[in-house]
Amino acid sequence: MLAPDGRPLPELTRSWLDARRLPVLEVKSADELMSIALRSRPRLVVVDARTASTEALKACRRIKTDSFTGIVPVCVCTSNEDLALAAAFGAGADEVLRDNVPAAEVPLRLDALLRRSDRDTFVHPSTRLPGAMEIELDIARRLEVGTHFAVCYADLDHFKEYNDRYSYYDGDRVIRILSKILHDVVKGMCGEDGFVGHIGGDDFIFVMPVAQVHETCSEIVQTFDALVPFQYSEQDRRAGYYFGKDRRGQLHKVPLMTVSIGVVTNERRTFAHAAQVSELATEMKSYAKTLPGSVFTIDRRSDAHENELPTVHKSNAAGVGEEQ
């Protein structure tokens, strides 16, 4: 809470904070606010611009223009004048509460503010897909419901070499292409029962009913293999490889990118929490990456038969999945 003139919080705002058990730290200067925000990134900043509006709005602008603190939601309390409303939003405020806002609207507006903020925080900025926290929540929800589902961990092969040969801009485009393929295929085949999340970099998690795993993963690897060659120069695309340097500086052939998917289901296993699923999905993804080409590997083992081999599905030029 920034109050340059030391005034107490508006009563309705204070009641909302108390009801949600959010502790309030009051500061009187923009420098103090920025110092705290840069150290701890507050859940919410409330700026009182009802009287000392110039200093208050400067503080709001500083919070919202900094790359680290800009994601923090800022609510400005201001007077009833239209100019004050425009100035607050012009300073970057995410919400503005004027003195004449009906009492019933205050908690609704503030609740909506935090929901919007959470959506911005929990999605990946490049792909706009849900991040790690939302992935964990989706898996936990399915475990609680008790339905049979599959968690699929997708990762690109030879992506680092691609970035080294081309650029991080081209690499980011490939990640967006993969995210679009995953989203469109999973949502197209599974509808609202499908979930796609972005862990970070070229790592993705998607979740769906068990019955649709084979068809969905087959479509993903075939679509990716059809599109990825066009992200290379004509020379590299025709050759099907290029020469890159390894960590020792020695030249070696680098094939075109492929996608590896590790799949875990709860058909034959019992999971107590989402972390167990995540750990096994990571193991299956790592196994898939040891195999050539675009593949998806499904863990068919049960709790009693850990040493069984997983099922491997390969993509081929004809677009037909081969099971091994």
311 pLDDT band, cuts 50/70/90, is low
Indicate if the pLDDT at residue 86 is higher than 60: yes
CATH number at residue 47: 3.40.50.2300
Backbone φ, ψ for residue 237 (5° rounding):
-65, -45
Report the pLDDT averaged over residues 308-321: 51
In angstroms and rounded to an integer, the radius of gyration of the C-alpha atoms of the chain is 25
Shared-domain flag, residues 116 and 57: yes
Q: How many domains does the chain have?
A: 2
Q: How far apart are CA 269 and CA 25, in angstroms?
A: 48
Q: Where are the alpha helices (DSSP H) in 5-147?
A: 11-19, 30-40, 53-65, 82-90, 105-122, 132-145
Q: Is residue 304 part of a domain?
A: yes
Higher per-residue confidence, 179 vs 317: 179
Among 3-7, 168-172, 276-280, 309-313, the minimum mean pLDDT is found in 309-313
Q: Which tens digits make up the pLDDT trace of 223-274?
A: 999 999 999 999 999 999 999 877 777 888 999 999 999 999 999 889 999 9
Q: Which tens digits make up the pLDDT trace of 102-116?
A: 999 999 999 999 988
Q: Is residue 108 part of a domain?
A: yes
Shared-domain flag, residues 143 and 108: no
Domain end, chosen from 98, 122, 146, is at: 122
Q: Is residue 2 part of a domain?
A: no
Q: Is residue 288 part of a domain?
A: yes
Shared-domain flag, residues 147 and 102: no
Shared-domain flag, residues 47 and 140: no
Q: Where are the alpha helices (DSSP H) in the chain?
A: 11-19, 30-40, 53-65, 82-90, 105-122, 132-145, 159-165, 168-190, 213-227, 234-239, 274-289
Q: Which structure tokens are listed for 243?
A: 């020469």
- Find the domain containing 236 and state its range: 132-323
